[in-house]
Structure 1
Amino acid sequence: MIRKSHAVSSAVAMLLAASPAAIFAQDAALPDYPETRAEAVEDVIFGETVADPYRWLEQDVRQSSEVADWVARQNAFSDSVLDRIPETAWFKAKLAELIDYERYDVPVVAGGRYFFGYNSGLQNQSQLFVQDGPDAARRLLIDPNAWAKDGATALGDIRPSPDGRRLLYSIQDGGSDWRQLKVLDVDSGKDLPDAIDGVKFPIRYNNWDWVDGDSFLYGRFDIPAAGEEFQATSLNNRVYYHRIGTDQSDDLLVFATPDEPERSNDALVSHDGSWAVLRSRQATEERNEIRVIDLRRTGIDRWQNRMLVPGFEHEWDFLDAIGATLYFRTNQGAPTYRVVAIDMDASEPRWQVVVPQGDFPIDHASIVGDRLIVSYLQDAASKVAVFGLDGSRKDDIRLGGIGAAEGFGGSPASSDTFYSFSSFNRPATIYRLDPATGESSVFAAPRLTFDPGDYLVEQKFYASRDGTRVPMFIVRRSDVSGPAPTLLYGYGGFDISLTPGFSTTRMAWLAAGGVYALANIRGGGEYGKDWHDAGRRANKQNVFDDFIAAGEWLKANGYTSEDGLAIQGGSNGGLLVGAVSNQRPDLFAAANPQVGVMDMLRFDRWTAGRTWVDDYGYPEREEDWKILRAYSPYHNIRAGEDYPAIIVTTADTDDRVVPGHSFKYAAALQAAEIGDEPHIIRIETRAGHGSGKPTDKLIEEYGEILGFLAHHAGLQVPVIAEKSDE
């Protein structure tokens, strides 16, 4: 199960020039696929018989020797195919070159201290530094590169205590969504004995927050039985109170929903420790209930929660509190969101609109000092405005063009905030913002190895099948004109917006002379709730239609040639790539579904899959099942059609979208009569859904993915070969 590894250094001298013939005859016939046992497994569901011959591949690779053997044989086969591709070595070298620059995370400020991540370039994991004020020297707090020999143990989220004395941080091992929480004394740089288990990374939830400098709230799940950690459904997310210096077994249960074990619950605390806001969510849909605990007048033994927003009808995102006034971002009565406030000490508390909804969705909002900082998505690109707490507009933050701005953390006690700005052709620069004046100053800027002016960033709009106007970003080198091999990326789900940020892997494709296109298809949050609703449940086909229309538009408008279009997407985007490859195999030259949801009839049986029903529907309901059956990638492979070259990618420790999805899909592809192009699967070890992956694994993985896509889409690069390990 161990994948071959090639050492990566900043010196490209590790690679030697060679001719394609010296590497491998790239046009040689594809060897036979590894044998995959097929079973006579059939289910009769709502009157239809559905075959599932590869269900045995759903087993955890750590628990089944047969699945482990299958993984080893598939990896060996994919290596043999990828070794034929001369473009791979160039992409690995280019990725190593492009990623070798200083990178900073947006600082988190607490107690006058700045906490921020830093990577010197090729470090497998970013380090964590602290700076005692804007002009103080930085010092190293945590270096996760020393945690594991393979670099696959990562520092997750951080949360400094309000006074900056302590740091609550999470550890992620092997890419798993499971985390362990630790507490560090900032002055000494040493860990305290406290250790919290059972914490998991659920999408869009901050699972822990400080009450004061000596205690915090956190959410934890039932810990699965040994051997089931990577597949068992995540249940009974409960909120606990922990006091520093005590054992986890002594923690106080604050909130739980035992009658609704599938609900996710978490807690956020106002900056001054006066209010705890408890959020409950049934699934991934933007709908939650809100309860509050008034921490001002009661001791922990008398905490009582008060229902503030019942009913799971809308999204309520707690910003902070000033005195007894609580501020939220919500889509209640506002599909593009608004900011509202409520005075909890009023005899009859009523919601007041602070910032009304506008033409573009409010993506994020925060309170910094006496200002509200509101981030909008204008056609998927960031726009940021500053408001007074009375809702009066004070300023617009001047950004560097089309791009993505992130950060703006802080509290009513803060005097400044930090944010990053990046674009397709610009790595993130970190800025300090004075909300009172609206002035930004550079905190950290990368030294670039390329000129952003050499790359063009455009935004185009095209019509989908039903006439819906869909935006698409298109990026290319300024000297690239006419049809060129193009990589089209999409997601289209879960109210998640794709914004024009920087990516080293995208830049490698662009540097090679390719075109990169990002389609902001329905199902995401680029235009608010209505855009999301138009791409989920019964409307899911709109997502695929939008993506197919993007590919057709790129060809019709001369960006790519008839046989030069490659596609890529991860997670829900992997589902997208699998579905459109089935529906329009003639449109694409190559495809890379990454960690995709491929079996839509059984997705809800593992880990977090139960929470995806808001976007996909319920497989046990006939109306939903018929929709899922119609597009499920695993069940709709069309024998007799010529499919594009496909490289499926997943990881053995992915416990969000379990690898069995990709295993079954790849086995079905290889068994079907779908043409002569290769259909392979690349399975990474000690890597999960994506986060925490070390730099050397990223270079190795994306070098092979981009080499495969380039080779089959006709993107020509200088031919180099990797130096022999011998």
Structure 2
Amino acid sequence: MKYFLLNSLSSDLKSWLIYICSFCILAGCSQEISVPKTKSIDHFDEYHGQKVSDPYRWLEDFTNDAVKEWVNEQNDFSKQFTQNKYQTSIKKNLESIWTSEYLSTPYKVQGKTFYYFNTGKLQQNKLMVKDCDSCIERVLIDPNQFSSDGTIALASASVSPDSKWLAFAQSDGGSDWRTWRIMDIENGQIMADELSWSKFSGAEWSPDSKGFFYRKYPIPNGEELSDVNTHPAIMYHALGTEQSMDRVIIENKEDPLLSWSISVSDDGQFKILYTTKGTDERNLVSIGRYDESFTPIIENFKASYTFIDSKNESLWFLTNENAPNGKVVRLDFGDLNAGFKDIISESDLPIRDVDMINQKLIVHYLEDTFSNIKYFSEEGIENGSLQTILPGTISGLSGKKDDVEVFYSFTNFKQPSQIYKLNLLNNAQELYWEEKLENFKSENYVSDMVFYPSKDGTLIPLHVSHKKGLALTSDTPVLLYGYGGFSISLVPRFSKRFLAWMNQGGVFALANLRGGSEYGKNWHEQGMLLNKQNVFDDFAYAAKFLHSKKIGSPHSTAIQGGSNGGLLVGAVMLQNPNLFGFAIPQVGVMDMLRFNKFTIGWGWESDYGSPENLEDFQNLYSYSPYHNIQDGVCYPPTLITTSDRDDRVVPSHSYKFAARLQNLQGCENPIMLRVETRAGHGAGKPRNKQISEIADIYGAAMSFIK
């Protein structure tokens, strides 16, 4: 496939035309395709005495008709590259893969068992319930009935302590905004209660099951998909009342950036109030008996504290104070002045989470990204572990301190989800359910983990997966994936989208970059704020390592990442334009000088820094994708993706990046923008949209690198 470039220059911008000769590969005849023209308007902002150009500021008004028309032109342009024989093959394979049944890890409340289920053909997962162990399951909520196109999703669900009520939240078109409703679990009747303008919130029930706590934001003054979200409040809603009657539990009008959440102990004796700022892990903690006022326990933002459970007057917490890998501590409510007592000391392995089940502290460690589950007594004495046949990731292992049996899920890069029933009295486990994919055998794939040195010599884990018997050469298509931020760990999980890539003869590689928490708090800190460049170097050096082992090469390697990972791909492709054959930045944070001006973006300053601070500005400006595109440099073919209702990372980030990259591109490699409609940052996206998006993205990538 050949591309020919025609440049024509005007006074203030360069526009160009690409002609594609498909030789009957795509449409059976040659076809002229022009890159959409994007108007440039002189605009400058001043940061710390430095003027910064922002010629595509007008694209920030992403609900404007002119911007929508521009988006339609961009989508039409990108379709010329996404619709090809690879896309057809991948989509067919995904349709087959996606027919397998899905079951989430079951959990019990008062003898009832709840879980999500999908036949493999439904747009959204159903919420199911079994009223007793021997009862036939029944549908509790079918979100496929919410809308004809499957774009209204069931975003959250919380069962009351007495198992009589269900609080559930709906999300419209992928938005982070939630509307809460209440259902009578016994008869399925939905109550009149309707709670609007909730975000980033669950429903925490009161011990008497007569109401719940939730987070509510003020009604936006302007565009609800872009207005800055501040001044939240924790509300209490009593069943059967109007939202206007909800009681304010806590708010702070003087500090609009503070946010809160409440936990109630399983026995209903205590309530725990967390105070946070943005995505900063560090928090304040107050506790109290449920029917009494709160007492501050942690009054400075110095560390992270997470409540585990309580028994009598004792409360257990997971914290990283003076313990970067985490430790378990206990507090005596009857003697608060005594402070916290170490119960399980910090170890060489970082703690992912802790639960108290069957009078045991069950600690989930990460060992080189794989799950390692150990049991401890309430006093911190180690007394066993959970053994798995293969290394992988355990999730859903939760319950109450009196539970004897619980469920957990297991997976890794080549093992579809399995659900086990675990008896904690004798540590016996049995396979309860497993996902079965058509024409798939795990033994036909291989997945290995290696370590490679980054630019500064730090060893980084890299998982490499592909079909068994695949000849690994410099021409092998490689998909390199990463994230690297916000203390989020990428752990081994089976993925249908990555399976589809491997089924095309490709290698999937996942790098555990600094910025995550795969190795605790220190690993996160090495990839945040002024250390952010470490993350970009880690990613680039992953590609260099693979190429040195003859696993792909610059011309056959595609890079992919979403959200903070979209920033990763954008920054790395600009810093290393000759290292990759294709780039896929998805829903990325691309304008690092204005990310804090929209929705919840201000909350990311804990990881990125603030443009209003000189040192942070200089750092952000040095790698901001939107601001670091060089005129005339040849960048790899790039498919930028976003959604028109993304109110987490607003789509204008991707719009502005695409417009500037198209204008300054120095060679014939196309810069494409794919914008999904009736979708948001990713959560709640229906089955058909997921399949189409994956097929388009990987189809385009394969056409350039294979």
Same fold (TM over 0.5): yes
Distance in 2, matches of 1:559 and 1:347, equals 58
SS in 2 for 1:626: helix
**What is aligned with 1:11?**
none
CA RMSD of superposed structures (Å): 1.6
1:56 pairs with one of 22, 36, 58: 58
The one of 467, 483, 490 equivalent to 2:457 is 467
Amino acid at match of 2:280: E
2:485–2:607 contact (8 Å) kept in structure 1: yes
For 1:556 and 1:87, locate their aligned partners in 2 and report how far apart those are by CA, in whole Å.
27
Which deviations, in whole Å up to 9, do the C-alpha atoms of 1:182-233 show, x marking residues without a partner?
Answer: 11111111212222212112xxx646344332121111111213x5110111
Q: Which residue is 1:179 aligned to? A: 178
Distance 2:168 2:421 in 1: 24
Residue 74 of structure 1 corresponds to which residue in structure 2? 74
Q: 1:586 aligns with which of 559, 578, 587?
A: 578
Shift in Å, 1:47: 2.7
Superposed, which structure 2 residues align to 1:587-666 within 5 Å?
587-666=579-658
Give the drift of 1:355. 1.6
- Range moving further from structure 2, 597-606 or 407-416: 407-416
Is 1:276–2:271 an aligned residue pair? yes
Query: How far did 1:25 drift?
Result: 6.0
Q: Which one-letter code corresponds to 1:638 in the other structure?
A: Q
C-alpha distance 30-498 of structure 1, shift in aligned 2 (>3 A): farther
SS at match of 1:607: coil
Match of 1:455 among 406, 424, 445: 445
What are the within-5 Å matches in structure 2 for residues 486-505 of structure 1? 486-505=478-497
Match of 1:211 in 2: 207
Matched to 2:326, the amino acid is: Y
What pairs up with 1:225-264 in 2 under 5 angstroms? 225=221, 227-264=222-259
User: 1:482 Cα deviation (Å)?
Assistant: 2.0
Say yes or no: does 1:522 pair with 2:517.
no
Counterpart position of 1:113: 112
- Which residue is equivalent to 1:150? 149
User: Given residue 333 of structure 2, which amino acid in structure 1 is its aligned partner?
Assistant: M
Residue number among 287, 293, 316 corresponding to 1:292 in the alignment: 287
Q: 1:562 to 1:649 in 2, by over 3 A?
A: closer
| Distance in structure 2 (CA, Å) of the matches to 1:92 and 1:663 | 26
Q: Answer yes or no: is 1:423 the counterpart of 2:423.
A: no
Q: What's the secondary structure of 2:262's corresponding residue?
A: strand
- The answer to whether the 8 A contact 1:209-1:218 is kept is no
1:320-339 aligned within 5 A: 320-339=309-328
Aligned 8 A contact 1:337 1:362 in 2: yes
Supply the distance in 2 between the matched residues of 1:642 and 1:30 (Cα, whole angstroms).
Answer: 22
Give per-residue Cα distances to partners, 1:462-510, cap 9 Å, x unaligned.
Answer: 0000000111100011111222110000000000000110110000001
Which structure is higher in RCO with an 8 Å CA cutoff and minimum separation 6?
1
Contact 1:211 1:217 in 2 (8 A): no
2:49 maps to 47
Contact 1:377 1:383 in 2 (8 A): yes
Q: Deviations over 1:112-166 (max 9, x none)?
A: 1111000000210000100123332211111000111111111112111112111
Report if the CA contact (8 A) 2:357-2:399 is conserved.
Answer: yes
Amino acid at match of 1:467: G
- Give the Cα separation in 2 of the matches to 1:352 and 1:206: 30
- Residue type of the partner of 1:155? L
Write the distance in 2 (CA, Å) between the matches of 1:191 and 1:141: 11
Match of 1:197 in 2: 196
C-alpha displacement of 1:60? 3.0
Once the 2 structures are TM-superposed, how far is the Cα of residue 54 of structure 1 from its aligned partner? 0.3
The structure 1 residue matched to 2:499, chosen from 488, 493, 507, is: 507
Match of 2:399 in 1: 410
Is the CA contact 2:641–2:673 (under 8 Å) kept in the aligned structure 1? yes
- Give yes or no for contact 2:554–2:578 (8 Å, CA) kept in 1: no
Question: What TM-score results when the alignment is normalised by the length of structure 1?
Answer: 0.92
- Secondary structure of the residue aligned to 2:592 is coil
Code of the residue aligned with 2:431 in structure 1: it is: V
Unaligned runs of 5+ residues in structure 2 are: 1-21
Q: Which amino acid aligns with 1:122?
A: K
- Contact in 2 for aligned 1:199/1:207 (Cα 8 Å): no
1:306 matched to 2:295? The reply is: yes
- Secondary structure of 1:346's aligned partner: helix
Counterpart of 2:14 in structure 1 is none
Q: Deviation at 1:71? A: 1.0
1:30-84 Cα offsets, whole Å, 9 max, x none, are: 72211111001112322322110000000132xx11111111111111123323x
1:355 match: 344
Distance 1:547 1:247, change over 3 A: same
Partners of 1:207 and 1:289 lie apart in 2 by 20
1:221 to 217, 221, 238: 217
One-letter code of the match for 1:198? W
Specify whether residues 405 and 263 from structure 1 end up closer, same or farther in structure 2 by C-alpha distance, changes over 3 A only: same
Distance in structure 2 (CA, Å) of the matches to 1:504 and 1:219? 34
Query: What is the one-letter code of the residue matched to 1:423?
Result: N
Q: Give the whole-Å Cα distance in 1 for the aligned partners of 2:397 and 2:75.
A: 43
Q: Is the 8 A contact 1:535 1:543 kept in 2?
A: yes
Letter in 1 for 2:373: V
Q: 1:137 to 1:349 in 2, by over 3 A?
A: farther
- The answer to whether the 8 A contact 2:635-2:665 is kept is no
- Distance in 1 separating the partners of 2:372 and 2:404: 22
Gaps of 5+ in 1: 1-19, 715-726
Deviation larger for 461-470 or 320-329: 320-329
Indicate if the aligned counterparts of 1:207 and 1:267 stay in contact, CA closer than 8 A. no
State the shift of 1:260 in Å. 1.4
- Say whether 1:35 aligns with 2:30: no
Tell whether the 8 Å contact from 1:239 to 1:254 is kept in structure 2 after alignment: yes
What is the letter of the counterpart of residue 44 of structure 1? E
* 2:467 alignment partner AA: R
Question: Secondary structure in 2 aligned to 1:586?
Answer: coil
Q: Contact 2:466 / 2:502 at 8 angstroms: preserved in 1?
A: yes
Give the superposition deviation at 1:645.
0.8
Equivalent-residue separation in structure 2 for 1:30 and 1:143 (angstroms): 46
Deviation string, structure 1 residues 657-703 (Cα, Å, up to 9, x no partner) = 00000000000111013311111000000100000000000011110
2-side partners of 1:26 and 1:430: how far apart? Answer: 48
Q: Percent identity?
A: 38
Is the CA contact 1:650–1:684 (under 8 Å) kept in the aligned structure 2? Answer: yes
Shift of 1:349: 3.7
Asked whether the 8 Å contact 1:386–1:435 carries over to 2, the reply is no
Q: What residue number does 1:572 align with? A: 564
Q: Is the 8 A contact 2:203 2:212 kept in 1?
A: no
- The alignment partner of 2:470 has SS state of coil
Give the distance between the partners of 2:343 and 2:190, measured in 1 at CA: 42
- Number of residue pairs aligned between Structure 1 and Structure 2: 682
> Are the equivalent residues in 1 in contact too, given 2:24–2:30 (CA < 8 A)?
no
CA apart distance, 1:640: 2.3
CA contact (8 A) 1:646 1:679 kept: yes
- For structure 1, which segment, 688-697 or 72-81, has the greater mean C-alpha deviation from structure 2 after superposition? 72-81
1:706 aligns with 2:698: yes
Say whether the 8 Å CA contact 2:547–2:553 is kept in structure 1: yes
Partners of 1:347 and 1:284 lie apart in 2 by 28
- Does the Cα contact within 8 Å between 1:99 and 1:122 map onto a contact in 2? yes
* Alpha-carbon distance in 1 for matches of 2:31, 2:522: 49
SS of the counterpart of 1:235?
coil
Task: Verify the 8 A CA contact 1:369 1:415 in the aligned structure 2.
Answer: yes
Q: Is the 8 A contact 2:158 2:203 kept in 1?
A: no
| Paired residues of 1:368 and 1:416 also in contact (CA < 8 A) | no
Moved more, 205-214 or 485-494: 205-214
Q: Which residue of 2 aligns with 1:95?
A: 94
